[in-house]
Amino acid sequence: MRNLAQAPLKDPSIARSVALFRAFLREQTDPEHCYGLLARDAAEQLERYLTLHDRVVVDIGGGSGHFTEEFRRRGAHSYLFEPDAAELAARGQLPEGAVVADGYLLPLADGVADVCFSSNVLEHVADPQTFLSEMVRVTRPGGLIYVSFTNWLSPWGGHETAPWHYLGADRARARYRRRTGRDAKHTLGENLFPIHIGPTLRHVRGRDDVSVVAARSRYWPFLAHAVTRVPGLREIATWNLLLILRRSP
């Protein structure tokens, strides 16, 4: 009998966006479900452009390994690179074959990956352009780069302090501390950076080592591409930008 939990997530569709949003609401209490679903969704998005079976897929900033696991389940040779040992160990055991490495300086030769993947990492690095350049370097000519990030003016831009970051990062952080008695995990300028959609799109379109295959909202069920074309509005309404880039020959 067909396992409904493993049924394909049709992207775009309202059912898919609702399922992802509901999983996200339960992220704290059921991270396995949330990240398992997100990983399956990302793998299906990638499989619209190439089959993952037998491909070399590198997952940069892959945390505790949900995405790498899903790529392997689909037959990819997937490798996880993550600089934070605590993130790697978040599920109790280390993901098999994980490498402690910084995305700015990957221990990989040029052009080894069919797919270089990074989910929700770009907003956590101070120099996203250098991070992207390193992703491009390790991707083979014709290979794909999947990069998604939550921009600062997204309703989720402040992460756990959202949406109060609209009133300023310091104020949002102070409010979080007052409400929870804990410090927020993210501090603007330390491990969270104000990245924007317009400048990022201009940057990738101006590069001569990649072409832009898709630039869209990662989660929206409709107008996912269109929303990224409207200056101003896109900074708030895109929520999370997904770029699929192809390494130039």
- Give the residues lining the site for ligand SAM (CB under 6 A): 35, 60-63, 82-84, 87, 102-104, 119-121, 124-125
Measured from the CB atom, the residue of 44 and 102 that comes closer to ligand SAM is 102
Measured from the CB atom, the residue of 35 and 71 that comes closer to ligand SAM is 35
Minimal distance in Å, beta carbon 229 to ligand SAM? 25
Minimal distance in Å, beta carbon 42 to ligand SAM? 8
Minimal distance in Å, beta carbon 171 to ligand SAM? 22
Minimal distance in Å, beta carbon 104 to ligand SAM? 5
Measured from the CB atom, the residue of 42 and 227 that comes closer to ligand SAM is 42
β-bridge partners, 139: 113
β-bridge partners, 147: 118, 243
Measured from the CB atom, the residue of 91 and 226 that comes closer to ligand SAM is 91
Measured from the CB atom, the residue of 25 and 230 that comes closer to ligand SAM is 25
Minimal distance in Å, beta carbon 43 to ligand SAM? 12
Cα 83 to the center of its chain, rounded Å: 16
Using CB atoms within 10 Å of the CB of residue 181, give its burial: 0 to 12 exposed, 13 to 18 middle, 19+ buried: exposed
